[in-house]
């Protein structure tokens, strides 16, 4: 396990505390639409931290080519129709570039600043000169609006139970997913990033914001800068 990350519940748990079975059950949301609106048709997407393919499969259906990267073989086993690469994102060096690099799921909020830097360096290393990096950031109130919960129409409840500062600028966040027949929890480290701090982190990796794709500033299109 990565230090500060853990998960409970049935089945395999990834090093960052995600439950594989949980991700096979979670529905996809608006992510494929946001991505489609921001990139050229039929682009080749390098998806970092693909999990079981929750976003990969709809993206393939929309006509994109996807290379899916995850450090968990248990997650990747569920990915169909995409090239699959088992690797930590930090260490990934494919020696090729892509039209689009996707760093979703708030991974940019890694607790360890060196990990965050390595994730963004991987994005920069793999994006074509005329390509883009799509990043999903946390919303502004993610660490303050706690506890909070959302009942998903598909029949489960997701709760953010707590976000406790751990003293180095990051917080330990505890999430719970309750289904009628199973409950999973994930505890993970998250380092809040203001817009300025986020843009600074991008700049350190040689990237810059092209535009914010959603009004809440959560989805960002970045380019080499």
Cβ at position 47, least distance to ligand SAM in Å: 7
Contact residues toward ligand SAM (CB under 6 A) are: 14, 16, 18, 23, 49-51, 54-55, 70-72, 75, 88-90, 104-105, 107
Q: Which is nearer to ligand SAM, 105 or 187 (CB)?
A: 105
Residue 16 Cβ vs ligand SAM, minimum distance, rounded to whole Å: 4
The SS3 assignment for 158 reads strand
Instruction: Report DSSP letters for 131-149, one per residue.
Output: EEEEEEPPPTTTTTS-SEE
Which residue's beta carbon is nearest to the bound ligand SAM?
51
* CB closer to ligand SAM, 18 vs 120: 18
Give the residue with the Cβ less far from ligand SAM, 43 or 52.
Answer: 52
Return d(Cα 168, Cα 188) in angstroms, integer.
Answer: 14
- In the sheet that holds 182-190, the strands lie side by side as 6-8, 182-190, 171-179, 156-165, 148-152
Residue with tokens 């998903």: 152
Query: Measuring CA to CA, which residue among 150, 168, 93, 152 is closest to residue 124?
Result: 93
Cβ atoms within 10 A of the Cβ of 128, count?
Answer: 15
What is the closest distance, in whole angstroms, from the C-beta atom of residue 204 to ligand SAM in the complex? 18
Residue 26 or 182 with smaller CB distance to ligand SAM = 26
The residue (of 55 and 202) whose beta carbon lies closer to ligand SAM is 55
């Amino acid at each position: 396990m990565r230090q500060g990350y853990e998960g409970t519940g049935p089945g395999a748990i990834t090093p960052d505390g995600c439950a594989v079975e949980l991700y096979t059950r979670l529905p996809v949301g608006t992510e494929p639409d946001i991505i489609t609106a921001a990139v050229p048709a039929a682009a080749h997407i390098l998806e970092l931290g693909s999990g079981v393919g929750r976003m990969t499969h709809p993206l393939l259906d929309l006509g994109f080519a996807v290379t899916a990267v995850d450090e968990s073989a248990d997650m990747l086993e569920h990915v169909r129709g995409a090239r699959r690469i088992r690797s930590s994102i930090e260490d990934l060096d494919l020696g090729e570039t892509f039209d689009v690099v996707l760093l979703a799921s708030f991974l940019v909020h890694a607790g360890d600043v060196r990990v965050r830097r390595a994730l963004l360096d991987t994005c920069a290393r793999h994006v074509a000169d005329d390509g883009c990096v799509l990043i999903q950031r946390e919303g502004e109130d993610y660490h303050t609006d706690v506890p909070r919960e959302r009942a998903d129409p598909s029949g489960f409840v997701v709760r953010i139970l707590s976000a406790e500062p751990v003293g180095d600028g990051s917080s330990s966040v505890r999430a719970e997913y309750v289904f009628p027949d199973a409950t999973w929890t994930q505890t993970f480290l998250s380092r809040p990033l203001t817009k300025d701090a986020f843009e600074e982190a991008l700049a350190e990796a040689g990237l810059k914001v092209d535009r914010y794709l959603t009004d809440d500033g959560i989805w960002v299109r970045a380019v080499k800068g």
